[in-house]
């Protein structure tokens, strides 16, 4: 039976009694083995959502059910490590803090990419090198759920590509569920199979990547036929001369004589939603395959 690894219900967090909501009305389910992309602009609420799932903050409202603390690893943007410890000592600490479940091989494979003497102190590492050590600690814990807040932000493109490959191979081998926030959309396509788009503290898109993408079409046709678009849920329209391009969620057949129809790329889909904050949200429940749920 497929297990739910995260179940969020009306989750919200407000900073201070008079502060604004960093996250609100957040409901979704994520099943075991998913690799979930968490995307959204600066200040959208991505880190807030990750810290709530990691139980590093208490929600102001709503609930989240997730993996127990010992089966969960979180790597935040600030990557807290002990600067005075060496790389080898840091990994030894990981082993001692996780008796019975520490996967030394997985941790060492991530650190090996550094090509550094394991006796090097953490304080002498660059930001990107520290990222690798933090990820090694997280993977060594052999978590059922791995929460990563912009894990690749300070890595150069080659290191990012390699580390992402190593991370995904490890997750696939062990069936680890991963939730990863990122601003680099191209980094996520082809790697993630689930999508959460957060914007203004609310979930705008949620569900298995293929189903979310399959629910959208990019239509191009004459401006004169614009009224026909009303038959569908329109996310965004853009006009160039006498042509109009629309990102829609079709609610019926599209006339192929008038409209050229293509599937949008992940980037086109996300950018259209971000440019159109008033577009209705869209959510597919991860446990009820193919069922659209009120977002």
Ligand X SMILES: Nc1ncnc2c1ncn2[C@@H]1O[C@H](COP(=O)(O)OP(=O)(O)OP(=O)(O)O)[C@@H](O)[C@H]1O
- Chain residues that interact with ligand X, rule: CB under 6 A: 15, 19, 22, 40, 42-48
Would you say 31 or 202 has its CB closer to ligand X? 202
Least Å distance, CB 183 to ligand X, is 6
Dist. CA 101–CA 69, nearest whole Å: 13
Would you say 183 or 249 has its CB closer to ligand X? 183
Would you say 46 or 204 has its CB closer to ligand X? 46
Distances 29 to 204, 208, 267, 292 between C-alpha atoms, Å: 15, 10, 23, 13
Least Å distance, CB 72 to ligand X, is 18
Would you say 150 or 268 has its CB closer to ligand X? 150
Q: What are phi and psi of 250, to 5 degrees?
A: -60, 135
Least Å distance, CB 46 to ligand X, is 3
- Please report how the helices 87-97 and 104-112 are oriented relative to each other, as an axis angle in degrees rounded to 10: 160
Tell me which long-range contacts 17-26 makes (C-beta under 8 A, separation of at least 24): 20/201, 21/60, 21/201, 22/48, 22/201, 23/48, 23/49, 23/52, 23/198, 23/201, 23/202, 24/201, 24/202, 25/62, 25/202, 25/203, 26/62, 26/198, 26/202, 26/203
Strand 35-39 relative to strand 177-181: parallel, antiparallel, unpaired?
parallel
Least Å distance, CB 204 to ligand X, is 12
270 is written with which tokens?
Answer: 């996300």
Would you say 199 or 286 has its CB closer to ligand X? 199
Least Å distance, CB 153 to ligand X, is 9
Least Å distance, CB 181 to ligand X, is 7
Would you say 29 or 46 has its CB closer to ligand X? 46
137 is written with which tokens?
Answer: 């600690």
Dist. CA 143–CA 28, nearest whole Å: 21
């Amino acid at each position: 039976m497929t297990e739910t690894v995260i179940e969020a219900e009306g989750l919200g967090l407000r900073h201070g009694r008079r502060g604004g909501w960093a996250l609100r009305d957040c409901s979704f389910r994520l099943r075991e083995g998913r690799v979930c992309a968490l995307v959204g602009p600066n200040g959208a609420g991505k880190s807030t959502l990750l810290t709530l799932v990691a139980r590093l903050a208490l929600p102001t409202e709503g609930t989240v059910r997730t993996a127990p603390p010992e089966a969960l690893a979180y790597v935040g943007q600030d990557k807290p490590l002990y600067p005075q410890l060496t790389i080898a000592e840091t990994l030894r600490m990981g082993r001692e803090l996780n008796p019975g479940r520490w996967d030394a091989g997985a941790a060492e494979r991530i650190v090996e990419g550094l090509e550094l003497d394991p006796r090097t102190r953490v304080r002498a590492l660059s930001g990107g090198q520290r990222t690798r050590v933090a990820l090694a600690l997280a993977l060594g814990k052999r978590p059922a759920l791995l929460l990563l807040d912009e894990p690749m932000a300070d890595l150069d493109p080659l290191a990012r590509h390699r580390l992402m490959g190593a991370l995904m191979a490890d997750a696939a081998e062990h069936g680890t569920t991963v939730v990863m926030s990122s601003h680099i959309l191209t980094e996520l396509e082809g790697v993630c199979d689930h999508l959460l788009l957060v914007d203004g503290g609310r979930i705008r898109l949620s569900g298995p990547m293929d189903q979310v993408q399959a629910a959208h079409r990019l239509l191009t046709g004459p401006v004169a036929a614009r009224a026909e678009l009303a038959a569908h849920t329109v996310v965004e329209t853009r006009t160039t001369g006498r042509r109009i391009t629309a990102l829609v969620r079709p609610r019926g057949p599209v006339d192929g004589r008038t409209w050229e129809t293509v599937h949008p790329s992940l980037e086109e889909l996300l950018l259209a939603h971000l440019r159109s904050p008033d577009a209705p949200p869209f959510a597919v429940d991860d446990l009820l395959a193919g069922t659209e749920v009120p977002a």
